[in-house]
Amino acid sequence: MDKAVQDFLRNVANTVIKLEILSYLHDHPFALDNAAGVAGWINRARAEVARDLEELARAGVVACDGEEPEAVYSFSPDISVRETVNQVVEAYRLTREAVYGLVLEQQRQQQELRRQYQRLLVVERGRTETILNSLEEAVVVTDREDRLLLANEPFLSLFCSAGEFRPGSALAETVDDAGVAAAVRDCPENGELEGDFRYGDRFYRIRKNPVTGPDGKLIADQDGKPVGTVTVLRDVTRDREIERMREDFLSMLTHDLKNPLGIIFGSSTLVLDGKIGILNEKQNKMLKNVIKSCGQMETLIDDFLSLSRLEAGQLQLRKDPVVLDSLLEGMLALFEQQIEAAGLTWSFNPGAAGVAVAADRVQLERVIANLVGNSIKYNREGGSIAVATAVEADCVRVEVADTGRGIPAEELPYVFERYRRSASVESMRGSGLGLAVAWSFITAMGGSIQAESEVGKGSRFSVRLPLSPAAGE
pLDDT, residue 29, reads 80
8 Å CB contact between 458 and 406:
yes
Q: Which of 24-33, 253-262, 452-461 has the lowest mean pLDDT?
A: 253-262
pTM above 0.85, yes or no: no
Which pLDDT value is given to residue 427?
45
Rounded to the nearest 10°, the torsion over CA 222, 225, 230, 235 is -170
Out of 213-217, 222-226, 238-242, the most confident range is 238-242
Domain at 320-466, CATH class: alpha beta
* Backbone phi and psi for residue 264, each to the nearest 5 degrees, phi listed first: -60, -45
Query: What would the mean pLDDT of 370-384 be, rounded to a whole number?
Result: 90
Please say if the pLDDT value at position 388 is more than 90.
yes
For residue 260, whether the previous peptide bond is cis, meaning omega lies within 30 degrees of 0, is no
Contacts of 413 (CB under 8 A, 6+ apart): none
- Within 8 A by CB and 6+ apart from 106, the residues are none
DSSP 8-state assignment for residue 33: B
Q: Closest Cα to residue 304, out of 373, 251, 250?
A: 250
SS3 call for 418: coil
Position with higher pLDDT, 357 vs 470: 357
Look at residue 357 in the predicted model and tell me its pLDDT: 92
Query: Class of the 3-101 domain?
Result: mainly alpha
Please tell me the predicted confidence (pLDDT) of residue 375.
92
Mean pLDDT lowest among 118-132, 147-161, 264-278, 357-371: 118-132
For the chain, the structural domain boundaries read 3-101, 135-235, 241-311, 320-466
| Cα 463 to Cα 359: distance, rounded to the nearest angstrom | 12
What is the C-alpha separation between 35 and 419, in angstroms, rounded? 99
Mean pLDDT of 455-469: 91
Nearest to 5 by CA among 381, 346, 13: 13
Q: Are 412 and 373 in contact (CB under 8 A)?
A: no
In this chain, the answer to whether the domains covering 3-101 and 320-466 adopt an identical fold is no
Q: Report the distance separating Cα 75 and Cα 27, nearest Å.
A: 9
What local confidence, expressed as pLDDT, does residue 190 receive? 83
SS3 241: helix
Q: How confident is the model at residue 419 (pLDDT cuts 50, 70, 90)?
A: low
CA distance 141 to 150: 5
Specify the pLDDT at position 372. 92
Residue 1 is predicted with a pLDDT of 56
Q: Which residues of 341-367 are buried (b: 16+ CB within 10 A; e: fewer)?
A: ebebebeeebebeebbbbbbeebbbbb
Q: What integer is the mean pLDDT of 218-235?
A: 83
Q: 134-162, pLDDT tens digit by residue?
A: 788 888 888 888 888 888 888 888 888 77
Pairing of strands 384-391, 345-349: parallel
pLDDT value at 255 more than 70? no
Q: How far apart are CA 312 and CA 246, in angstroms?
A: 10
At residue 346, the 3 state secondary structure works out as strand
Using CB atoms within 10 A of its CB, is residue 1 exposed (0-12), middle (13-18) or buried (19+)? exposed
The backbone torsions φ and ψ at residue 386, rounded to the nearest 5 degrees and listed phi first, read -125, 125
pLDDT of res. 416: 86
The mean pLDDT of 366-377, rounded to a whole number, is: 90
For 135-235, CATH number out of 3.40.50.300, 3.30.1300.10, 3.30.450.20, 3.40.50.920 equals 3.30.450.20
Element (H, E) at 463: strand 458-466
Residues 320-352 have pLDDT tens digits of 899 989 999 988 988 888 898 889 999 999 988
